[in-house]
Structure 1
Amino acid sequence: MTNSIKWGMIGAGDVTEVKSGPAFKKVPHSDLVAVMRRDAVKVQDYARRHGIRKWYTDAKQLIDDEEVNAVYIATPPDTHLQYCMMALQAGKAVYVEKPVTLNVEEAMRLANYVQKVGGCLSVAHYRREQPYFKKIVQIIDDGLIGEPLVISLQLLKKSLTEEMLQDPKIAWRLDPAKSGGGLFHDLAPHQLDIIYRLFGPIQKSEGLALNLGKRYPADDVVTGRILFENDVLFNGLWAFNVTEEVDRCEIFGSKGKLTLSFFTPHTIELMNGEGVQVFHFEALKHVQQPMIEAVVGYLRGERGNPCSIDDALEVATIMQNFTNK
C-alpha cells in the first residue's frame, strides 16, 4: 500500500457526518478524495460541505477511480458483501461498517474471499481504539480486579415512538432484510466485539430472541450468554420496549469489579481492595478517528489489523447464536 491513503466513501448518510467522515481528513497520511451516494443532489451537497473533490452516484465508478486506493463502506449491511468484494477485486483496501454483513453465511463468504485475494479489510468495531475501552483492557490486564469471572450487561431502551418508526433513518434498522435483525444488530456488535476482545476465544454461546411488541419485523428483546474458554461467563440482556433506559456493564473479578457503559462512555468505576476509583473521559468529537488512524497505520504497514474479518465473524456468530436466526 502506498504511503498516502486516498479514501473513497460509499454511502454518505448521517452516521458519516460527524462520527467518521471528517476523521479521514484529520488522520495523518489520509485523505477523503471521493464520495458516492445514489442521490446526486445529496452527494454533491455532502462533497461540497466536507471539502471532497469528487463525487459519484455509482459505486463501481468510485471503486474504479485510480486515485482511490482504499474504500470506506458506510451503507446498510445488505450491501456490505457486494461492495466489499467489488473493492477487493479491484485491489482496493476496505474499511467496512458494522455489522460486517447481514449474517454469518455472508461473513464467512467475505472471510474466504479476503483470504483468496489476499486483500486488506478492516471492520469498524471502532471502540477498540478509543481511550475509554483501552483503559478497560489495561485495568483487566494489570490484574486490578483479579481473575475475571462473570460479566453482566444490560442495554434497555424505551419503545420507539410512531414518529421514530416512520423516520427513514431508523426504519431501515428495523428491517432484517436491510439490517440483519433490528436494533440488537445495530447496537450489540459494539458491545460484543469488546467483550470478545477482552475474554475470547469462545467455548459456546446461546440465547433467545423475541418480538414482544410486534410493531416492526425485528426482535425487540434478546438475551444471551457466552462461556469463554477461560471459563469467564457473560450474560446479556437487550430490550427495546421498556420504560427505563439502562446502559450498564459490570465485570466481576476475584478481587474487584469494573462498571462501565458502551454508549455513554464518560466514566469507568473500579472497585477493589484499594477502594473505589473513578476514571473520567472526555467525549470524542469524531468517535471513529482513533480507529481510522489505526487502520491507516495498518495499511501503511506500521501495525497489524485493528479488527479483521475473522474477529467480525466471531461477533456475527455470537449474534446468530443469541437470536437463532
Structure 2
Amino acid sequence: MTDAPHDIAAAELLTVRDFIRYGVSRFNAAGLSYGHGTTTAFDEAVFLVLETLHLPIDQLEPYLDARLTTAERRGVAEILEKRVTTRKPASYLTNKAYIQGFPFYVDERVIVPRSYIGELLFSDYFGGEEFAIVEDPPSVERVLDLCTGSGCLAILAAQVFPEAQIDAVDLSPDALEVAKRNVADHGLEDRITLFQGDLFAPLKGRKYDVILTNPPYVDAEAMNALPAEYQQEPAMALAAGEDGMDIVRRILKEASKHLTDEGGILCEFGTGREILEEDYSKLDFLWLQTANSFGEVFWLTRDQLKAAKL
C-alpha cells in the first residue's frame, strides 16, 4: 500500500523551511485559490505552518531552519494536505484569523474576516493630524458594527474608540455565537452588545457617531463562479442580489436615521463604485485608500445623506 502524501512529507521533511517549500509546491500543483487573509501560495503555507506550530505568524525568519519533532512534522503535513483535499480556507482549518495583528476565532458559521476597514481604523483617517474623517476618536461615544459576522470590526473599534459603547448586529444567530466567543476572548463584554436581526431593525432608533459596515456585496454572476474556497463560506454573508448592491442600498436608505448630527458611515462594498455613483449621483462619496484597494470603501456623513434626501 502506498503511503499518503502527508505521511511521506512527515517522514522526509525536517525543518520549517522544508514544510513551507513543500506547501507552496502542493498548493501550486493543486491550483488553490486565496483571498482569505493571504494572496499567494507562499503566504498561505507560512500561515498554516506557523499557526500549526503555535509560532508568531509575523516572525518567520528566526524559525526557518528549526527542526521539528516527529509529532510536529505529522501535524504540519496533515494540515497542509487538508488545505489541498478539502479546499477549505486556511482560517477554517486553524480556527484562527488575524486583522491588524489581533487574533479572532473563526469557523464555517462566519465569513473569514478580511475587511479593508480594519486597516483604515488604524490609519490617519482616524485621529490623524493632516486629514481625518474622525478627528478625535476618544470623543466617540457610540459605534455600530453592522453585519458584524465574527465580531472582528466591533472588537477593533473598541481599540480605536476607547470610550465608546459598541453595538454589533448580524442576521445570523450562528454568526453571533462566534462573535460572542470573540468578544469574550478579548474581554469586551462590558463594551460590546450583540443584536440579532435584519440590519437596523433591532436597534429601535439608536443613534451612533460612527457606523462601520462590511455587508454582503457579491453579485449573482460572481456567486455562480465562486472558487471552492469561497463556497465553504455562508452564502448569506456574500450574496447581495443581481448587481451586488442590494444590502448597500438598504443601508444607505436607513443610515441617516441612526447617525448623530456629526456622525458618519464607513462602508466596504467591493468593486461596485460605478454602480453607486450612477445610482446616487447626488452623494459626494469620499473614497478611502488602503494598501491594496481604492474605491472599495466610502465614507459619508449624516449631513451628506440628509442633503441627498436619504
- Relative contact order higher in (CA < 8 Å, ≥ 6 apart): 1
Give the number of the structure whose alpha-carbon radius of gyration is greater.
Answer: 2
Alignment TM-score, normalising by the size of structure 1: 0.31
Alignment TM-score, normalising by the size of structure 2: 0.32
Structure that is richer in strand per residue: 1
